[in-house]
Structure formats: structure tokens, C-alpha cells
Structure 1
Amino acid sequence: MKHLPKHLQPRWRYLAVELEGWPDASFGRGTFQRDLWFAAQNLVGDTGSAEVDLSVLRFAFEDGAGHAIVRARRGETDRARAVLACLDAVDGDEVGVRVRGVSGTVRACEEKYIRSPPEPTDQRNVVFENAERRAVARDGRIDVRTDDAFVGATELDL
């Protein structure tokens, strides 16, 4: 099968996406892709979802923080950003999604927006609500483990 001429090949844009969740959140590329497709289908419908054509190319998520590179058709980046903004949970785990930037190639996307080292996490014991509890600290933010979930706090709250 012959390749299409360059002027007929589809053009893509690559979105660098930062992911942040609770420290015990764990999900993989496949579940993120599935929930992204569902979000696109719910927001822009079947035909709009096919026009945006979102696909996860690179994915890393560990200890409640990670990143992804999402591919979208050129000219559809606004709708792709809207779909990503609608994504609030993946596989039942609450997640914060932030688009760090858009690029024309995967390599430029990684170099500009993702090459920073991962945030260091620190496990420690803190006093919260008059009790000693386990906590995970990341860049001034502290996630305190309560009986059944995590609570977000800062240094001043402890």
C-alpha cells in the first residue's frame, strides 16, 4: 500500500498534559485513554469526537503525579483542551488535569513541557486534627491520610 502524499496526510498537534491525583491513585494508559474517549463523546458527541481524534501517545503516572502526551488533529486543539478540562476522574480516582502546552511534534512537546524532573515526594508523620497521621508532601502541598481518604493541606494547616 502506498503512502499518501505529504499534502494529503493528516496534520497533528500534541498536547502536553500534567496529571495530579491523590498519592494512592493508580491507573494506566489504557484507562486514561478510555476515560478521555468517554469525556470527548459526552462533550462533543460521536462526530465531534471523531473529528478531534484524541489519542494518548506517551503516559507516565506514579505516586499521584504524572504526565501524558495527547495527540489531536490540527485545528481541533480548542476542543481537545475542553475535553481534557471535563476529565475529573480516571477509573474512579479523582485527578487534576492541566494542559501545559501544545506543540507540532512529539519531540518538541517533550523537550518544552515535560522534560522537567518529577516532583520529589516526602513521606512524613504530621499532627492533623489533634492526631498524628501519615502524610505525603509535594512542593509545599501536603496530602494527609485520614481514616478513609486523603485531605489536602499546606504547612500552615499543620
Structure 2
Amino acid sequence: MKHLPKHLRPRWRYLAVELESWPDASIDRRAFQREVWYAGQNLLGDPGSAAADLTVVRFAFVDGVGEAIVKVRRGETEPARAAIACIDEIDGQPIGIRVRGISGTIRAANEKYLGRRRQDSDKRNVVFGNEERVAVVRTGSADVRLDEAFAGATDLDYDLA
């Protein structure tokens, strides 16, 4: 079977997406892809979702922080951004999603928008609410372990023990 000529091939754009959740969250590529498809269908409907053709190309998620590259048809980037913004949880775990940028190639999306956010996370004992607790400390913030959940805190909310 012959390849299509260049002018007849579909054109793609790549969305660089940043993910953030609680430190104990475990999210895999399949679950993220499923949520992207559901969000596309719910917001854009079947025809709009098919036109956008949202596909996760790259995915990494470790210690509550991750990034992904989502492939979208050219001309459908704004509806795709809106659909991705509708995702608020994956497999019952709350998640924050931010589209960092749009690029014409995977390489450019990776170089321009991803990989910069690598933060050193460190488990420390902190004083929060007049009690010493364990927290995952990142640059400028901490996720303090309460009894069965986490509480997000900034540098002003806790003291190092």
C-alpha cells in the first residue's frame, strides 16, 4: 500500500500537558487516555471528539507529578484544550491539569514546555496545626499527611521540625 502524498496527510498538533496530584496517587497512561477520551466525548460530542482525535503519545507520572503529550488534529486545538481542562479526577484520585503549550512536533513540545518542572520532593517532619506531621515538601509547597488524607500547604502554613 502506498503512502499518501504529503499534502494529503493529516496534520497534527501536540499539547504539552502538566499533571499534579497528591503524592500517593498512582496514575497510568491507560487511565489518563480513557479520561481524555471521556472528556472529549462529554464536552464535544461524538462528532467533535472524532474530529479532534485526542491521543496520548507520551506519559510519565511519579510521586504526584507528571507530564504528557496529547496528539490533536490541526485546527482542533482549542476544543481539545477545553476537553482536557474538564478532567478533575482519574480513577477516583483528584488531579490538576494544565496545558503548558502547543507545538507542531513532539520534540519541540518536549523541549519547549516539558521537563522544566522537575522538583525535588523530600519527605520531612513539619509542624502543622501545632502537631508534628510527615509531609512531602516540594519547592514552595508541601503536602502534609493528615490521618487518612493530605492537606496542601505553603511555606507560610508550616514550620520545619
Tell me the amino acid that sits aligned with residue 112 of structure 1: K
Residue of structure 2 equivalent to 1:152: 152
Residue of structure 2 equivalent to 1:48: 48
Residue of structure 2 equivalent to 1:85: 85
Q: How does 1:117-132 map to 2 (within 5 A)?
A: 118-132=118-132
Moved runs in structure 1, 4+ residues, more than 2 A?
A: none
Structure 2: runs of 5+ lacking an equivalent: none
- Tell me the alpha carbon deviations over residues 19-50 of structure 1, each in whole angstroms, 9 at most, x when there is no partner: 01110111100000001101111111111110
Tell me the amino acid that sits aligned with residue 37 of structure 1: W
Tell me the amino acid that sits aligned with residue 71 of structure 2: R
Give the deviation of 1:2 after TM superposition.
1.0
Q: Distance in 2 between matches of 1:21 and 1:117?
A: 14
- Of residues 128-137 and 65-74 in structure 1, the stretch that sits farther from structure 2 once superposed is 128-137
Q: Distance in 2 between matches of 1:139 and 1:127?
A: 17
Q: CA RMSD in A?
A: 0.9
Q: Distance in 2 between matches of 1:23 and 1:41?
A: 29
Residue of structure 2 equivalent to 1:73: 73
Is 1:9 aligned to 2:9, yes or no? yes
Q: Paired residues, what number?
A: 158
Residue of structure 2 equivalent to 1:25: 25
Q: Distance in 1 between matches of 2:40 and 2:117?
A: 30
Identity %: 64
Give the deviation of 1:129 after TM superposition.
1.8
SS at match of 2:156: helix
Give the deviation of 1:14 after TM superposition.
0.2
Tell me the amino acid that sits aligned with residue 73 of structure 1: R
- Tell me the alpha carbon deviations over residues 87-107 of structure 1, each in whole angstroms, 9 at most, x when there is no partner: 111111111101111000011
- Tell me the alpha carbon deviations over residues 41-81 of structure 1, each in whole angstroms, 9 at most, x when there is no partner: 11111111101100000000000001000000000000010
Q: Distance in 2 between matches of 1:105 and 1:155?
A: 38
SS at match of 1:157: coil
Tell me the amino acid that sits aligned with residue 52 of structure 2: V
SS at match of 1:44: helix
Residue of structure 1 equivalent to 2:111: 111
Q: Distance in 2 between matches of 1:31 and 1:56?
A: 11
Q: Distance in 1 between matches of 2:155 and 2:106?
A: 37
Q: Distance in 2 between matches of 1:117 and 1:144?
A: 21
Structure 1: runs of 5+ lacking an equivalent: none
TM-score (norm 1): 0.97
